[in-house]
Chains A and B, each alone.
Chain A
Amino acid sequence: MKTLHISVGAGFENDRRELGLMAAEALACMPEGADRYLIFECLAERTLAKQVMADSVSNQIDLALSHLKPSHKLCKQHGIRVVTNLGGIDPVGVASGVQAALGETCRVIAVTGDRLALDQHDGESALSKNVYAGAEGIVSALQSQADIVITGRVADPALALGPAIHSLNIDWTDWHALANATLAGHLIECGTQVSGGYFSDENATVPDLDKVGPPVATVTTDSITLSKPLGGGILNRATVIEQMLYEIGDPANYITPDVVLDLTSTKADELEQNIVRVHSAKGHPAPSQLKSLLCRHSGWFAEGTIIYVGSTAATRAKAAMKILEKRIAAPDIKLEILNGHVDTVPRSLLRLALRTQEKPLATDAVNELEALYLNGPAAGGGIRSQITPLIDTIDGLVPRDAVSYQCSHVNQ
């Protein structure tokens, strides 16, 4: 039966940078005769908005290369193709930078079409609007012999679904096969969360969390065999089920752009140590509309902390809290105190958090905290504070026919 092997080099933007190389090494361990892919999932909901607000394409290129470079040589050597959403708000810009850095022998293709034009209904403070694209653009890029596919906003499982559709020749209406491959994506898109990372059993039972190894998904049209060929961590029925249900909502009805995944008869069987077989995922027809995400800059967060130590720390922290309650007139404010010990020394940490539409109110709040250095109870110290933008994300729906994808080979 035809298979492909997929591993993951990043489950989020700031994942351990050696994970990609470990994943390439893990893929190199897999038996010959099947296509191999390496995915990097690096976009959170607000990432695109943050990129619009504060980032430059050169920063995004640097970020992309920090993930892609360590494994690049091994990927070339073993014919491992890379699929990633590190394109962010500017897939062509990022792809160009990656192409320039990695050289001509590597075929880098950017997939665009997820970005939607902003209109007046989106409001003055709208930053970005994108659909969650499916696997279509990724499949086109792979059909055009891409070594590295760089997308913008896609549904996370599409990073694995695209390779599966391409290598297994899955029809766009073969709902069960699409569901199976989508589930494979869902299982590995959070990196080591399926192979022992963030696993809620007592830490002692998960070895070597300082070097958790990535999962490899070996995908057929109707099953997924997950393994962990190297590194620390553990991959068993429990870790797999925990990731399977992660953020799943209604398990009968997990809506993705290309299929609706139904987990109500899915099974996970432990075959041997660190090898689990998942099967019997069901699929239902893809939705007629795609989810879109509008990001708006709606205000500001102010946050800060101050500490007190010693026998009367808690009392002084409470007094400081009362001062801030009197001085800061803001409806959306939280003041809380953490009492504990550090090396047998009592410590109280007073935390302030505030959200507001008016930046001056955020600045005032942080100033009030700092003013405790001179005006507050005795011996407060270690003030830390920050003001960050509040970005709202608003879900929408877009008819799938209204969206089309373009592939750009940036070398040309």
Chain B
Amino acid sequence: MQPCKPMIRRIPLRTLAHGRAGDKGNILNLSVIAREPTDYAHLVNEVTVSHVAAVFESHHAQQIDRYLLPHLQAMNFVLHAALDGGVNRSLHQDRHGKTLSSLLLDSLITEPQARQRAR
């Protein structure tokens, strides 16, 4: 009998990170902060600009920038023109986009290797 290939588990980002949404005009800021410093490198690999773009596809951001802060084990994402005009103009219930950190933290990423071996 052939051995099974190990299953790659996907877990919600919120398992490994926390963060907060903030707005400045039509720009959405999203921080992603590792709960354990040792998970930071894995988060850098997983939570890329493409990953964030996919989560927020329906927001049609013009540009997404990622800033790394390794000494804080954190990242900051800046999504330009992502808030339907921002708090002044948006038709969303949540004009500031304050609730949007929940969407990012719910998104699925690959479980880190160390955790898989431990199971």
Chain A interfacial positions (CB closer than 8 Å to B): 45-46, 198-201, 238, 241-252, 263-268, 332-334, 351, 353-355, 390-393, 395
How far is B91's CA from A251's CA once the two chains are assembled, in angstroms?
29
Across the interface, which residues of A come within 8 angstroms of B14, CB to CB?
200
Q: B105 at the A/B interface (Cβ < 8 Å)?
A: yes
Distance A242 CA – B35 CA, assembled complex (angstroms): 11
Within 8 A of A (CB), among B47-104: 65, 67, 69, 71-72, 74, 76, 78, 87-89, 91-93, 101
Answer whether A245 and B18 are a contact pair too, CB < 8 Å, given A266-B71, A354-B91, A355-B91.
no
Identify the closest chain A residue to B35 (Cβ): A238
B112 within 8 A of A: no
- Residues of B whose CB lies within 8 Å of any CB of A are 14, 18-20, 22-25, 27, 29, 31, 33, 35, 65, 67, 69, 71-72, 74, 76, 78, 87-89, 91-93, 101, 105
Could you pull out 17 A-B pairs where Cβ atoms are within 8 angstroms? Answer: A199-B18, A200-B14, A200-B18, A241-B31, A243-B20, A245-B72, A246-B31, A247-B23, A248-B22, A249-B24, A250-B78, A263-B69, A267-B72, A334-B91, A351-B93, A353-B92, A392-B89
Asked if A251 and B20 make an inter-chain contact with CB atoms under 8 angstroms apart, the answer reads no
CB distance from A187 to the nearest CB of B (A): 13
For the complex, give the distance between the alpha carbons of A238 and B23 in Å: 20
Q: Which of B33, B76, B101 contacts A238 (CB 8 A)?
A: B33
Q: Known contacts A200-B105, A250-B78, A267-B72; decide if A238 and B87 are in contact (CB<8 Å).
A: no
Q: How far is the CB of B84 from chain A (nearest CB, A)?
A: 9
Assess whether A393 is in contact with B20, with CB atoms less than 8 Å apart.
no
Query: How far, in angstroms, from A88 to B27 measured CA to CA in the complex?
Result: 25
Q: How far is the CA of A354 from the CA of B91 in the complex (A)?
A: 7
Residue ID in chain B nearest A393 by CB atoms: B88
B89 A264 Cβ-Cβ under 8 A: no
Cα–Cα distance between A334 and B92 once the two chains are bound (Å): 8
**Chain A residues in 8 Å Cβ range of B101:** 200
B31 contact set on A, CB distance < 8 A: 241-242, 245-246, 248
Q: Verify A246–B29 contact, CB threshold 8 A.
A: yes
Interchain CA distance A246-B23 in the complex, whole Å? 9
Chain A residues contacting B87 (CB-CB under 8 Å) are 45-46
Number of A-B pairs, beta carbon distance below 8 Å: 89
Q: In the complex, which of the residues B14, B89, B101, B105 has the most CB atoms of chain A within 10 Å of its own CB atom?
A: B89
Cβ B71 vs Cβ A242 within 8 A: no
Contact between chains at A268 and B72 (CB < 8 Å): yes
Bound-state Cα–Cα, A365 to B20, Å: 35
Q: Please determine whether B88 and A46 come into contact, CB atoms closer than 8 angstroms.
A: yes
A243 neighbours in B (Cβ, 8 Å): 20
**Measured CA separation A57–B34 after assembly (Å):** 46
Known: A241-B72, A248-B29, A249-B29. A201 touches B18 (CB 8 A): yes
B18 neighbours in A (Cβ, 8 Å): 199-201, 238, 242
With both beta carbons as reference points, the residue of chain A lying nearest to B101 in the complex is identified as A200
The docked-state distance in angstroms from the alpha carbon of A45 to that of B89 is 13
Name the residue of chain B whose CB is nearest to the CB of A267. Answer: B71
> B19 — nearest CB in chain A belongs to which residue?
A200
List, in ascending order, chain B residues with CB within 8 A of A393's CB.
25, 88
A242 in contact with B33 (CB, 8 Å): yes
Output the least CB separation between A351 and chain B (Å): 7
Instruction: Give the residue of A201, A238, A265 whose beta carbon is less than 8 angstroms from that of B71.
Output: A265
When distances are taken between beta carbons in the complex, the residues of chain A under 8 Å from B22 are 246-248
Q: How far is the CB of B63 from chain A (nearest CB, A)?
A: 13
**CB-defined contacts of A198 to chain B, threshold 8 Å:** 20
Are the C-beta atoms of A266 and B72 separated by less than 8 Å? yes
Whether the Cβ atoms of B20 and A332 lie closer than 8 Å is no
